[in-house]
Amino acid sequence: MNSTPALHPLPRVIEIASLGDFDRHAATALALTDKRLAASMHGWHVQSVDLRARSAVLEKLRSAGSVFMGCEIEGKIERRLRGGGALVFPEIPGLPFDPYRGELYSGGELYAGLGNGSYESVPDARIYAWASHRYGAGAHDALNAALSTTLHDHAIGSRLDSQIRDGALAHAPLVGVMGGHAQQRGSAGYERAARLGHALSGAGFIVATGGGPGAMEAANLGAYLGSGSTENLAEALGMLAQEPGFAPSVTRWARAADRVRERWPVGLANLGIPTWFYGHEPPNMFATHIAKYFANATREAVLLEKCSGGIVFLPGAAGTVQEIFQDACENYYGAEGSISPMVLVGIEHWTRTLPAYPLLAELARGRAMEEKIFLVEDAAEAVRILVELNDGSISGVRGLA
């Protein structure tokens, strides 16, 4: 008689990314554990926490099954943790980034030093140069590079999940805005994307984009200024139009954005998800929360997955077409409750210039996604559709960042 081994649930994982988190979990574990036994840290994943002042607490906890990544720990305590069965990830030398980082990026961090130097000297550019082997060529081997970038992207994913679950991005549905990176500041397409972001943010949504230049920057700009008047947005658009694109000078392009941020230092929370795979396209400064990945495939999947409130597709080229059908594939095979709305803006563009809509509509025919596919001419109609479809999910409370 054949017997099938019993299936056991996956072990519980507790993500700990701050000293406060560690203290709370440690206090709970110590309070609930039989005094004759040491409390257990099994399943704890502790990341980027300075634990040098918690040596006495760590000595009271069993370390088997725990993981420590990028933490600062006293030497004797670290040896005790390893000896007790903990996995302690070591520092990886020669990196221009922290693979164990405990928070998302900000524009201020990625562009630190821009005021006194060129873009090529800021952290974003140095990380891209490292990733493309132009910085310190030969200084990092393939194994360390693969390990560090994978750990980094895992850390970013964890922090993004945390922000969406109970952080600054938790108060409303995320709506994605996809569009061409080539839209120049000062163009009609750029202004349309900015006004779309402004309207979505003003309606209570959290705007998410690919975090780069062009229509992505415009949508993040509009979302950032979503609590203000359209006159503020028009003034910001005029300031940015003085430096239309990031070529030939990313430095001047970024400094123009920095001046807008100085003019309006507080804006609404919104999200950018760029990638160093396309590092020649710099990230924009108007996303208050930046989840920048090394792996573009991961970044694309995450961007589409998190936009539970729907996605607006502005006129674009190959990248936007890819995103349309990647999202369509998820909706095609998804259960009815998991399908997110898709709104294509620009009838001429999506039926004649790049006729993606007819194929999309044919794919949707007779399936649950059919009622969630829309083609409209103007962005205002896209906002109206998404507000109606998300009625009851928009709290009206918008987070400042």
pLDDT digits (tens, 9 = 90+) for 11-21: 678 989 899 99
Tokens of 135: 């910085």
Average pLDDT over residues 334-356: 94
Domain closes at, from 89, 109, 127 = 89
End-of-domain residue from the set 73, 89, 105: 89
Residue 392 has a pLDDT of 64
89, 118, 148: which is the final residue of a domain? 89
pLDDT tens for 263-309 read: 999 999 999 999 999 999 999 999 999 999 999 999 999 999 999 99
Mean pLDDT of 148-172: 94
- The pTM (predicted TM-score) of the whole model is 0.89
pLDDT of residue 342: 98
Residue range 51-75: mean pLDDT, rounded: 95
- 260 φ, ψ (degrees, to nearest 5): -65, -40
State the average pLDDT over residues 346-361: 97
pLDDT for 94 equals 86
Q: State the Cα–Cα distance between residues 74 and 213, nearest whole angstrom.
A: 44
107, part of any domain: no
Give the model's confidence band at 1: pLDDT under 50 very low, under 70 low, under 90 confident, else very high: very low
User: CA quadruple 162, 168, 170, 174: dihedral positive or negative?
Assistant: negative
187, part of any domain: yes
Beta-strand relationship, 206-209 and 174-178: parallel
Decide if pLDDT at 327 tops 70.
Answer: yes
Same domain (yes/no): 281, 382: yes
Residue with token string 């109606």 = 388
Question: Which residues constitute the domain of residue 29?
Answer: 14-89
Domain tally, the chain? 2
Residue 364 lies in a domain: yes
The answer to the question of residue 359 being in a domain is: yes
Order across the sheet with 67-69: list the strands.
14-16, 44-47, 67-69, 87-89
**C-alpha dihedral, 343 to 326 to 124 to 160, nearest 10°:** 80
Nearest to 313 by CA among 226, 365, 386: 386
Q: What is the rounded distance in angstroms from the CA atom of residue 127 to the CA atom of residue 109?
A: 12
Return all residues near 286 (Cβ < 8 A) that are at least 6 apart: 107, 217, 220, 221, 223, 224, 257, 260, 261, 267, 270, 272
Q: Residue 397: is its pLDDT beyond 50?
A: no
Name which of 17-21, 86-90, 138-142, 364-368 the model is least confident about: 138-142
Region 90-118: what's the mean pLDDT?
Answer: 93
pLDDT, mean over the chain: 91
Examine residue 250 and state whether it is found in any structural domain, yes or no.
yes
**Residue 137 predicted with pLDDT over 50:** no
Q: How far is CA 362 from CA 84, 338, 355, in A?
A: 59, 20, 12
Residues 224 and 368 in one domain: yes
Residue 118 pLDDT class (50, 70, 90 cuts):
very high
Beta bridge partners of 68: 46, 88
Residue 13 has what pLDDT?
A: 87
Token look-up 């003085």 returns 242
Residue 399 clears pLDDT 90, i.e. is over it = no
CA distance to 34, 59, 84, 155, per residue, from 38 (Å): 8, 9, 12, 29
d(CA 180, CA 313): 9
Question: What pLDDT was estimated at residue 105?
Answer: 98
What pLDDT is stored for residue 36 in this prediction?
56
